Structure 1
Amino acid sequence: MTVEQMYAYAKEKYAKWSIDVEQAMTTLKEIPISIHCWQGDDIGGFEVNKSELSGGIDVTGNYPGKARSPKELRADLEQALSLIPGHHRVNLHALYAETNGEAVDRDELKPAHFKNWVDWAKKMNIGLDFNPTLFSHPKAQNGLTLAHPKEEIRQFWIEHCKKSRKIAAYFGEELGTPSLMNIWIPDGFKDIPSDRLTPRKRLKESLDAIYKETLNQSHVLDAVESKVFGIGSESYVVGSHEFYMGYALKNNKIYLMDTGHYHPTETVSNKISSMLLFSDVVALHVSRPVRWDSDHVVILDDELKEIAIEIIRNDAIDKVKIGLDFFDASINRIAAWTMGTRNMVKALLYALLMPHDLLKRYQDEGNYTARLALLEEFKTYPFGAVWDYYCQQMNVPVGEAWLEQVELYEKNELLIRN
C-alpha cells in the first residue's frame, strides 16, 4: 500500500470517533519544539578559555564528527531541521558566544556576541531561546554559584544572568518571537549539609537581583529550573522543586520542569495539570532519564506520550513551552537530534488523534471499563500511517528514510572533520 492509501484507511478509522485527522495535522504544524544546540558538540561551546565540563554534567562517547566551530554547528542543525517536520526553534547556552578570538568572560557577554546566531535564525526563520551557563567555569568549580557564600562569586554569576536576560531580549526583539531565558544552576552538596536554609536564602536574593529590572515580556520570558540531585550534589540541591516552584509562582516566573530532574518514581506528565492551574505558562525540558538524570535521547515511550497527552487534552498548546535536553556522543549527533525531536512531534500527533472529550466523559460517568478499553485500543490505531503522510506533506523523509540522509552527511561532512 502507498502512503496515501494507508493514510486514507487511517483517516476513516479515526473518523468513526469524530477525530479530524486533517485538523490534527494542521494543529501539529503550529507546535514548535525548542531544539538544544548542545547535542551537536557535547556541550563544548566556543569560549576562548574553555573549562572542563562540571556541575554534574557528563557526556559519554566519542562518535566522529563533533562540531568544532559555530559554522559547523549551524550546518549540522540545518541538516537535522531538514529531517524534522514542523517549524521549530533552537536553544542556545551562553558558552556558544562568538567573540572573534577575544577572551570575554561570562559577566561581560553582550548581544553582539550572538549576532551571527541571530542572522542565521533570520535566514532559517526560526526563534531562539537562551540559557546562562553556570557550570564549566573556574568560578563554579566548588559546586556553588548563585548560592555561593562569597559575595564576589555570587555577583559574578548575578551579572552573567543579567547579561543573559539582555541577550534573550535581543533575540526576541530581532526575531519577533519571545525568547525563553531559563536559569539552571548546579549548586548543592555531595554530603549531608549542616545548613539547608542559608544557601536557599542566598539563591533567592540572587534571583531577586537578577530579575530586578523589568524587561519586555514580548521579547523575553523568564524561567527557572529545579533538580533533585546530581553528580557532586547527591545529598542536597539548593534549587529544589519546592524552592523553584514557590519562587516562580510568587514572582510570576515560568517554572521549567526537566523530565530527568525528579525522583525515579515521579513523572513530569503528572505535574503538568497541577502547574497549569496556577501558572499561565509552564516550560519543559524533555529528556530520557535512565536510573538518573542521564539525558538519553528521547524515545517514543509511555512517559513521552503521557506528556503530550496532558498538553493536548488540557488545551495547553499555547501554555506549555516544549524544549529538549539530551546529549549523547556515542551515536551520530545529528541522528540524535532527529530521532529525539521527531519522537516529540510523533507523541504530540498521537495525542491529537485521541477522543479526549469522550474519555473524559467516561471518567465523569464512572465508566472506567470503557475508558480503559478505549485507551488500550487506541494504542494500536494506525497513527503511524498519519505520521508518514504528515512527513510526506511536510517534505521531510518518511519512515526511516531520514537515516540515509544522515549517513550521507556523515560520509561527506562529519568524517572529514576527524
Structure 2
Amino acid sequence: MSEVEKRYESAKSRYAAIGVDTDAALKKLKDIKISMHCWQGDDVKGFLNPGGELTGGIMATGNYPGVATTPSELRADLEKAFSLIPGKHKVNLHAMYVDTDEKVDLDEIEPKHFEGWVNWAKEHGLGLDFNPTFFSHPMFKDNYTLASPDSAVRDFWIEHGKRSRKIAEYFGRELGQTSINNFWVPDGMKDNPIDRLAPRKRLMEALDEVFEEKLNEDYTQESVESKLFGLGAEAYTVGSHEFYMGYGLTRDKLICLDAGHFHPTEVISNKLSSLALFSKGVMLHVSRPVRWDSDHVVLMDDELTEIGREIVRNDLLPITNIGLDFFDATINRVAAWVVGVRNTQKALLKALLEPTEDLKKMELQNDFTSRMVITEELKDFPYGDVWNYFCEQNGVPVGLEWLNEVQDYEKNTLLKRNAILER
C-alpha cells in the first residue's frame, strides 16, 4: 500500500465517523466534467486574424514565453494540461479558433473549419463546447454588434450567431456529448447613454432571429451571459444580468453566470439556488475578479468554495455546466489551466465530503450550534488526503509533482517556440 493510500484510508475512517462515504464522493467527482477554456493558452488571440488586437472590453496582460500560435501548438498544450488533471473533461472553443488554411470570416464559418478539433477530441475522449466570437473584429463597430443601430452590422453578427449554432450542433452529434454554446455580447457605452431601452430591444430581436431555428438539444444547448461592464463599456452594458435572466427564462435558454461579471461585492454562489427554481439550467464561468472583471486564475478562495457547496448541497449538478474563464499571460499558461481545473474539482470535492443531509436536518430543527460546530470542524478534516488519492487513482501527479512536469514541458517545448519566433 502506497503512502497516499495509507493516508486515504485514515481520512476515510475519519469521514465515515460523521457519516460521509469518501468512495461515493470520489465516484461522483469523477463523473463531473469541467469545460477548460482554450483561450488561456494563446492570450485570447485565436487563429482567424493572427496579430489582431483584442477589443470588446477584454485584455490579456503579460508576455510569458511559449504562447501557442497554431492550433497544433494549442492542442499540444491542452493535452499536457489534461495529463495533469484527473478525469475526462471538455474543451471550450471560441469561433475564432478555426483550424483551416482557408481564408474565412466569422459570417462564413462552417463545421468543416473545426474538423481538426473534432478529430482531436475524438482521439482523446473529450467533449467540445463553443462560443460565438462577438469581439476583436472590424465589424465590432462603435462598441456594438447585435445591438447596433446599423442593420448591416447586426446582420453580420446574426449570421455569425446562426453559423455558430450549427458548429455546436456538429460537435454534439460527432462527439456524443451535448455542446454548450455560450453567447456573450460585449455591446455597451463608455459614458452615460440617453436611451438604454432601444439597444436592448435590438439585442433581444437579433437574438430571437439567431435562435429562430430549433436544434436538437441532445447535440447542443445555448446559454446567454451577462456582464456588468468592460473596457469601453464602463457606463452601460446592453446585456446586463437582468436582461439575460429575463431572456433566458422566457426563451428557454441556459443562463451563464461568470464569477467576474458582477459588482465587486456581488457573488454568483448566492444566485444559483434562485435560478435553479426558475431556469432551465446554468452555465458557470468560474473565474476570479480582482477589483474588476480581470479574469484571474481560479484560486481556492471563499467564493470558489461557496460555488462548490451551492452546487452540491442543492443537488444542482444535473442542471449545471461548469466551465472556466480566465487568461493570464504573466505565468506559465499550462500551469494556469492545471491550477484552475484542479482547484474547481477540489471545491466540489470539499462539498461532496460534507454530511449534507445531517446538516440540513440540524438546520430544520434550529440546532444552529451543531451546524456551526460541524461545519467549522470540517475545515480541519483531511480532504487533501482524499484528493491525493483521487489523483493517484486517476493516474495523474500527486501534490506538487505536476509542477515538475510543467517546468520540463516549458524547457523542452514552450521555450523552443520563442527561439523559433526570435530567429
TM-score between both structures, scaled by the size of structure 2: 0.97
Of stretches 40-49 and 11-20 in structure 1, the one that deviates more from structure 2 is: 40-49
Identity %: 58
| 1:327-368 deviations in Å (ceiling 9; x for gaps) | 000000000000000000111111100011111111111111
Partner SS, residue 361 of structure 1 = helix
1:314 is aligned to 314
Mapped pair 1:236 → 2:236: yes
Q: Distance in 1 between matches of 2:400 and 2:239?
A: 40
Give the partner amino acid of 2:30: K
Q: Which amino acid aligns with 1:158?
A: I
Which residue of structure 1 aligns with residue 282 of structure 2? 282
The correspondence of residues 112-261 of structure 1 with structure 2, limited to 5 A, is 112-261=112-261
Per-residue deviation, residues 42-101 of structure 1 (Å, max 9, x unmatched): 01111146531001110011000000100000000000000001111000000000230x
Task: Find the counterpart in structure 2 of residue 69 from structure 1.
Answer: 70
Match of 1:89 in 2: 90
Q: Which residue of 1 aligns with 2:59?
A: 58
Kept in 1, the 8 Å contact 2:253–2:280? The answer is no
2:38 is matched with 37
Work out the CA distance in 2 between the residues paired with 1:29 and 1:299.
20
Structure 1 residue aligned with 2:13: 12
AA matched with 2:134 = L
1:377 aligns with: 377
Q: What's the CA shift string for 1:93-144, capped at 9, x where partnerless?
A: 00000230x3211000000000000000000111100000000001114210
Q: Match of 1:199, as an amino acid?
A: P
Matches for 1:330-345 after TM superposition, within 5 Å: 330-345=330-345
Contact 2:84 2:396 in 1 (8 A): yes
Question: Are the counterparts in 1 of residues 93 and 128 from structure 2 also a CA contact under 8 Å?
Answer: yes
Task: Kindly provide the amino acid, as one letter, of the partner of residue 168 in structure 1.
Answer: A
Supply the RMSD in Å over aligned alpha carbons: 0.9
Q: Secondary structure at the match of 1:109?
A: coil
2:421 corresponds to: none
Retained in 1: the 8 A contact 2:141–2:153? no
The answer as to whether partners of 1:49 and 1:103 remain within 8 angstroms in 2 is no
In structure 1, the residue matched to 2:80 is: 79
| Partners of 1:7 and 1:125 in 2: CA distance | 29
Query: What letter matches 1:279 in structure 2?
Result: S
How far did residue 372 of structure 1 move? 1.4
Rounded to whole Å, the distance in 1 between the matches of 2:379 and 2:193 is 46
- 2:327 aligns with 327
Counterpart AA for 1:412: N
Q: Following the alignment from structure 1 to structure 2, what is the Cα–Cα distance between the partners of residues 270 and 401?
A: 35
Distance change >3 Å, CA 185–CA 36, structure 1 → 2: same
Runs of 4+ in 1 over 2 A off after TM superposition: 48-51
- Distance in 2 of aligned mates of 1:137 and 1:125: 32
Contact 1:128 1:179 in 2 (8 A): yes
Residue 196 and residue 393 in structure 1: after superposition, are their counterparts in 2 closer, same or farther (change >3 A)?
Answer: same
**8 A contact 2:249–2:280 mirrored in 1:** no
Cα offset for 1:175? 0.4
In structure 1, what is the Cα distance between the partners aligned to 2:208 and 2:317? 29
One-letter amino acid of the counterpart of residue 229, structure 1: F
Between the aligned partners of 1:47 and 1:244, the Cα distance in structure 2 is 28
Write the letter of the residue equivalent to 1:222: E
Secondary structure at the aligned position of 1:217 is classed as: coil
Question: Between Structure 1 and Structure 2, how many residues are aligned?
Answer: 417
- Look up the equivalent residue of 1:156 and give its one-letter code: F
Q: Equivalents in 1 of 2:302, 2:375: separation in Å?
A: 12
Aligned mates of 1:121, 1:64 — CA distance in 2: 26
Partners of 1:65 and 1:50 lie apart in 2 by 16
CA distance in structure 1 between the partners assigned to 2:351 and 2:24 by the alignment: 13
1:377 & 1:233 partners in 2: Cα distance?
A: 45
Instruction: Give the distance between the partners of 2:161 and 2:414, measured in 1 at CA.
Output: 34
Q: CA deviation at 1:317?
A: 1.2
Q: Determine if the alignment matches structure 1 residue 21 to structure 2 residue 22.
A: yes
Q: Deviations over 1:372-395 (max 9, x none)?
A: 111111111000000011100000
Counterparts of 2:221 and 2:61, CA distance in 1: 32
Cα distance in 1 for partners of 2:134, 2:49 equals 16
Residues 46 and 97 in structure 1, CA contact (< 8 A), matched pair in contact too: yes
Partner of 1:273: 273
Note closer, same or farther for the CA distance 1:17–1:99 as it changes in structure 2 (3 Å cut): same
Equivalent residue of 2:321, what SS? Answer: strand
Mapped to 2, the partners of 1:213 and 1:330 lie a distance apart of 42
For each residue in 1:181-223, what CA deviation from the matched residue of structure 2 results, as whole angstroms up to 9, or x when unmatched? 0100110001000000000000000000000000000111011
Opposite residue 191 of structure 2, the aligned amino acid is D
Give 1:349's aligned amino acid: L
Conserved in 2, the CA contact under 8 Å of 1:107 and 1:159? yes
CA drift of 1:39 comes to 0.3
- The one-letter code sitting in structure 2 at the alignment partner of 1:206 is A
**Unpaired runs of 5+ in structure 1?**
none
